Amino acid sequence: MRTLYRLLTLLLTPLALLRLQRGETQPGRWRERLGWMDDAPPGTVWIHAASVGEVNAAQGMIQALLDCGETLLISTMTVTGANRCMALFGERVEHRYLALDNPFAVKAWLKRTRPRIGLVVETEIWPELFARCRSVKIPLLMISARVSTPALRRYRRFARLFSQALASVDLATCQTETDARRLESLGLRPERCVVTGNLKFDIELPEDLGAQAEALRSAWGQRTIWTAGSTRPGEEPILIAAHDTLQKSYPQALLVLAPRHPDRAAEVAELLNDRGLEWCRFGEVARPSTSVILVDRLGVLMSCYAVAQVAFVGGSLVRRGGHNLLEPAGLALPVLTGPHLDQQTEAADALESTGGLIRVVDANDLGLRLQELLANPNKAEGIGRAAQAAIHGGRGSLERTLAAVGPWLGTGPRKTSGPCG
């Protein structure tokens, strides 16, 4: 199985390179995916956060390790993840794209980076990378690990391959007991699993978020605003139809539409034009008649949520498993979402337990729910407070994760307290 996997990864390398480089603004960085790059500083703590969501989840841990004086190497798989990493941390961290999981690229990448430990955020199981870390004696930890039901089915199709990969994992800090049991069923030894919770519950709001939101209110006017974040192909037509329904009762309502991938902005713009809607891009002048703000950049979604009365989180009306429900919940907004939340089970359960989450199934349902919430501000406020209460109830994962990781960060005898010893 391992030999076949290696052969397939080698054959698919050219296609993977082409796919992953979409949106890259620094020509030549594709070489990093083959391990062709400058050396990283020796003795780094390497953190792999595949894309934007993982970078956001890891930001508290990254900041804590920087505060401890650690030299950090952050790897991402996607260009958007790289951009988010640089926006948050800039030159305070080293960044590299992760090698493609073929034997030659992985060997070269680890030779150039030479980390003393690897921390893989959430669930990225790369058989070649994991095996190579073990062979060169790099401790490997999975952080805030989760295994969704669809992912579990995929891994079980190649049970032996992934069991061998998990044998290289020294510790997994898991989001839930269910995640821990699933990793164990895939081959991770039980004594190497510890439940620490979901790091996303501990994300801190930006200090200048209030000022950012006030600036947007000034630019867009005192209007009824709802924000649809992290939307995926197939969702925008549903959201636009719901907005049409809403505008029958609230003609001045404004939809702030933020696709998950900003490079889809041209595609969404064409849809808005086809529907005859007046719209503008984020940062352009919005007139009173503007119906939709199209967000075509990263790093502004939280401010777009902060200016809204209601939030919708995408990836959920289509079968994508959902995206981060906790960001708008942390702002005490009522959170609307579709039915497909396989990737957000813990967050959805937490919000539903307090009454802070509303699931919708189609454009008509969403439009009616929006009207209901906007017509009853006290009810909307109560649902938003319930969502925020779920966030507060879930906090503590960062502290528990740092305590679990701390013993692995020493260069001599293992420490027994937090990450700074």
Residues catalogued as catalytic: 54
Tokens 């503008």 belong to 280
Tokens 């003609």 belong to 251
Amino acid identity for residue 70 in this structure: E
Length of the chain: 421
Count of helix runs (H) and strand runs (E) in the chain: 17, 14
Q: 392: which residues sit within 8 A by CB, 6+ positions away?
A: none
405 and 397 in contact (C-beta within 8 Å)?
no
**What is the rounded distance in angstroms from the CA atom of residue 203 to the CA atom of residue 198?**
10
H/E element, 404: helix 397-405
Query: Which 3-state string (H, E, C) describes 198-242?
Result: CHHHHCCCCCCHHHHHHHHHHHHCCCCEEEEEEECCCCHHHHHHH
**What is the rounded distance in angstroms from the CA atom of residue 331 to the CA atom of residue 213?**
12
- Give the side-chain half-sphere CA count within 13 A for 76: 23
**What is the rounded distance in angstroms from the CA atom of residue 400 to the CA atom of residue 198?**
10
Pairing of strands 117-121, 45-48: parallel
Q: Which tokens is 315 given?
A: 């990836």
Tokens 């009207």 belong to 371
Q: Residue 171 pairs with which residues in a beta bridge?
A: 141
107 and 40 in contact (C-beta within 8 Å)?
no
62 and 93 in contact (C-beta within 8 Å)?
yes
Q: Residue 255 pairs with which residues in a beta bridge?
A: 226, 292
